[in-house]
């Protein structure tokens, strides 16, 4: 079973999205999946211009000759897809949205009606199972809600099963957690790995495991106070006073 992981973080391998994805990937690999990871940062992916040449002129092929050509081949060979992104302004990053817009060649131009909705006909060679891995800077898990709604809509259009999500709030606190709450952080790390294994073995992430990946490392007050102190310290370096 093949799985393609899309890291949509502009931080690439340096951010908390990748910290989370690494553990999820380990769980998938230990469960027997062959995993290919695509880091979008630094890749040449032109935005979709909506010319639908991939439907009507060169079926299955986009007019833009860039890195997406190879990525589409990888996706067509994969049974599972994992979308990784930090929350940016209540949604996914521009990198990931641009990538998803370019997945149009995975569908046919023809319409069909299914479950009360009109959509395009899916080509057989595209992933049938999708999981979300996301982190955010705010401590409340409801900050992921708009992103999840969007991902579920994408699954409906892709005719892919929404297998659940690993959601890590207050992600900047992970580094401090290594020092102040190592046992709690280890449990979160293990839960993320378990979620990856469940995705491959069961085709979904259990609610219990998902909730364990979202456990808070710090109280909300402690986290907010620490964040504000950090920003004040950084601003003082450039002789700027917080208003």
Q: Which of 191, 181, 183, 182 is nearest to 219 (CA)?
A: 181
pLDDT at 241 (0 to 100): 53
Question: Stretch 95-115: mean pLDDT, rounded?
Answer: 94
- Out of 135-139, 167-171, 203-207, 237-241, which region has the weakest mean confidence (pLDDT)? 237-241
Please report which confidence band the pLDDT of residue 203 belongs to, taking 50, 70 and 90 as the band edges: very high
- ∠ CA 92-37-195 to the nearest 5 degrees? 70
pLDDT at 114 (0 to 100): 86
SS3 16: helix
* pTM across the whole model: 0.94
Q: Which of 26, 33, 27 is nearest to 197 (CA)?
A: 27
- ∠ CA 145-38-29 to the nearest 5 degrees? 85
* CATH match for 2-215 among 3.40.980.10, 3.90.1150.10, 3.40.640.10, 3.40.50.360: 3.40.50.360
* Residue % of the chain over a pLDDT of 70: 98
Please report which confidence band the pLDDT of residue 228 belongs to, taking 50, 70 and 90 as the band edges: very high
């Amino acid at each position: 079973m093949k799985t393609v992981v899309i890291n949509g973080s502009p931080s690439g391998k340096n951010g908390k999205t990748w910290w989370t994805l690494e553990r999820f990937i380990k769980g998938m690999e230990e469960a027997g999946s062959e995993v290919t990871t695509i880091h979008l940062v630094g890749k040449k992916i032109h935005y979709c211009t909506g010319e639908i040449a991939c439907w009507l002129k060169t079926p299955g092929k986009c007019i833009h000759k860039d890195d997406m050509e190879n990525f589409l081949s990888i996706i067509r060979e994969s049974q599972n897809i994992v979308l990784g992104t930090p929350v940016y302004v209540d949604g996914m990053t521009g990198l990931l949205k641009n990538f998803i817009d370019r997945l149009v060649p995975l569908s046919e131009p023809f319409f069909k009606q299914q479950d009360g909705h009109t959509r395009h006909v899916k080509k057989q060679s595209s992933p049938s199972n999708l999981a979300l891995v996301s982190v955010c800077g705010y401590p409340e898990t409801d900050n992921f809600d708009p992103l999840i709604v969007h991902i579920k809509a994408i699954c409906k259009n892709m005719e892919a099963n929404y297998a659940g999500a690993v959601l890590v709030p207050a992600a900047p606190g992970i580094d401090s957690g290594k020092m102040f709450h190592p046992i709690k952080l280890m449990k979160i790390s293990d839960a993320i790995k378990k979620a990856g294994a469940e995705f491959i073995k069961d085709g979904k992430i259990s609610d219990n495991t998902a909730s364990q990946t979202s456990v808070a490392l710090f109280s909300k007050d402690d986290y907010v106070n620490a964040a504000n102190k950090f920003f004040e310290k950084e601003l003082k370096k450039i002789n700027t006073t917080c208003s």
